[in-house]
Amino acid sequence: MARNLIFYCCLVAAVAVSAQAAPQDTLDNLDLDEILNNDHLLISYTQCMLNADDGKCTAEGKEIKRRLPKVFATGCGDCTPSHLERAVKALKHITDKYPAEWAKLKAKFDPTGEYTKHHAETWNQHRVNI
């Protein structure tokens, strides 16, 4: 019994250490509220997404731009719960307050409208009107 207890304690410790050592996503620390509540920052990030080159993009902007095609293609189907929550928040804000920029983003990342049609119901469940 003591051996089993020691084994389980070691197992729990190993899991705890590995969970702490797991790499943190680079976008987890991005202050989404700061961006969404600052027109200049939001437009800057939007322009980063729309431009062909990354010259005026921040490191975070480049990472978002890299991930955005997959978010469109999958409807964020493989997003973590945290990323889905942040995507929903950002999409609601942009679709409601910046429809012209949203139209440009859709034109770039979903030119045929295929992804929008395919994932409309999913986004509607999150109250995002894409």
Total number of residues shown for the chain: 130
Examine the pLDDT at 21 and tell me if it is beyond 50. Answer: no
State the residue for tokens 């469940």.
125
Question: Are the C-beta atoms of 48 and 35 separated by less than 8 Å?
Answer: no
Say if residues 46 and 101 touch (Cβ distance below 8 Å): yes
Note the pTM of the prediction, 2 decimals: 0.74
pLDDT tens-digit series, residues 52-101: 777 789 999 999 999 999 999 999 988 889 889 999 999 999 999 999 99
CA–centroid distance for 80 within its chain: 9
Q: How far is CA 53 from CA 17, 83, 97, 108, in A?
A: 40, 25, 26, 14
Classify 29-125 by CATH class.
Answer: mainly alpha
Whether 129 contacts 95, CB under 8 Å: yes
Residue 77: what are its φ and ψ, rounded to 5°?
Answer: -65, -25
